[in-house]
Amino acid sequence: MTEAAPLAPVAARQRLHALDVLRGIALLGIALMNVEYFGRPLADVGNGVDPSQTGLDHALSWLIYVFVQGKFWILFSLLFGMGFAVMGARTQAAGGGFTRLYVRRSLGLLVIGLVHALAIWAGDILVTYAIGALLLLLFRDASPRRQGQWGALLYGAPVLGLLMMAAVMLALQSSGLSSGDHVDLAQEAREQAARAAEIAAYSDGTWWQATVVRARYLLTHIPEMLVFECFAVGIFLIGAWLLRSGAIAQPSDHAALYRRLRHLALPVGVVLALLSAAVTVHLDWKEQGARAMLAMALMLAASPLLSLGYLALVVAALQTAFGARLLAPLAPLGRMALSNYLLQSLVGTWLFYGHGLGLWGSVPRRWQVAGVVAVFVLQVLLSRIWLAHFRHGPVEWLWRAWTYRQVPPMRAR
């Protein structure tokens, strides 16, 4: 009987090229969304497009809100779920030991996320991913089809609930049974104070003052983070189903699935996103709570459909010679996605925060977008140069050393 190979980080030649390309694309979408909140309070997340913007700045914000915001974290989450499935398959082939290894990997990600959230930027998503990764263990033994069904339920049920709640609120308002949205003055005062503290600490404060505000933000938003876990775990499971079904490794064998994603899911997602934007892109939760909830629920329904459509378009492009050549430079970026994600936060906070260049609130949206594109191109080039000399990104190397309890080779052969 052949002895199972010991578990170790995946070699470059064993990686799925499509996943690395998709991670690189997801990084661009995430940066386009995050850059606004390097120079705007995180208290405004969930309020939609800044109503003070006009002209080109408003148009860019509208396009990013409708077609990017909320779509690329989902794409990244699909890929995270695929990574869960890949690790499960590899540990099974190696003779077991998945749970212990996976828990250690998730705890390592949790530490990285906490450092990011506390020391760099409060808009971190890695802590949410790490907790969601542990919750994925509850579904480890489910079949691929069952994982996909659970994923659709975990994401879709809350969205349906929000749609129903918005419909009830609108019906009550139209019938005159509800006089409008009631404002809790004490809660509003607390929110305004927290927003003012963010602005003061990030725009003019020291690194330590910003860290104190980041820690407060993390603690006060734990309930929202736990609610968000339902959506995240749902998307993780859909990603695991896609990987385990063979649709990623053998796309030509699943041509019908990809046609449905391109010709059905993507157009329906566009229609729902445009409907949401038609309701409102300025989510005023105090004065127009019912409309804001309806717009948010429609956008939540649109986002996974758009993300899956984007994924299908990229996979289709990779099946062509031209598309493969065009997208190939993104693969090194995706191979070290964690390092590049953290680097985006470091650059963004250094540019905008008071303990850096202090550009908070002074950069128009058009220059934010231009800056993201410039930094992204630089990251593509630097990632290629780095991986020509090293096997892993620096943070990936540390994470893998912790996960496998051995120091992986760093220098490229």
Q: Per residue in 250-295, pLDDT tens?
A: 999 999 999 999 999 999 999 999 999 999 999 988 888 899 999 9
What is the average pLDDT value for the chain, to the nearest integer? Answer: 91
Question: What was the pLDDT predicted at 96?
Answer: 65
**Residue closest to 138 by CA, chosen among 146, 385, 16:** 146
Question: What was the pLDDT predicted at 14?
Answer: 44
Question: What was the pLDDT predicted at 6?
Answer: 47
Phi–psi pair at 139, nearest 5 degrees: -115, 10
Question: What was the pLDDT predicted at 239?
Answer: 95
Q: Which residue has the tokens 């934007």?
A: 277
Confidence of residue 1 (pLDDT cuts 50, 70, 90): very low
State pLDDT tens for residues 298-323.
999 999 999 999 999 999 999 999 99
Question: What was the pLDDT predicted at 93?
Answer: 65
pLDDT higher than 60, residue 181: no
**Residue closest to 344 by CA, chosen among 76, 84, 63:** 76
Question: What was the pLDDT predicted at 241?
Answer: 95
Question: What was the pLDDT predicted at 95?
Answer: 61
The residues, ordered by sequence, that sit 6+ positions from 132 with a Cβ below 8 Å of its Cβ are: 229, 232, 233, 236
Question: What was the pLDDT predicted at 398?
Answer: 96
Mean pLDDT of 79-100: 80
Q: Which two tokens stand for residue 214?
A: 């980041």
Mean pLDDT of 183-189: 74
Mean pLDDT of 342-346: 97
* Rounded-to-integer distance, Cα 325 and Cα 280, Å: 40
Evaluate whether 9 touches 316 at the Cβ level (below 8 Å): no
* Rounded-to-integer distance, Cα 73 and Cα 66, Å: 14
Evaluate whether 348 touches 34 at the Cβ level (below 8 Å): yes
pLDDT higher than 80, residue 179: no
State pLDDT tens for residues 384-410.
999 999 999 999 999 999 998 988 888
Q: What percent of the chain has pLDDT over 70?
A: 93
* Rounded-to-integer distance, Cα 326 and Cα 179, Å: 56
**Residue closest to 210 by CA, chosen among 338, 41, 343, 339:** 41
**Residue closest to 89 by CA, chosen among 76, 98, 80:** 98
Evaluate whether 247 touches 258 at the Cβ level (below 8 Å): yes
State pLDDT tens for residues 112-128.
999 999 999 999 999 99
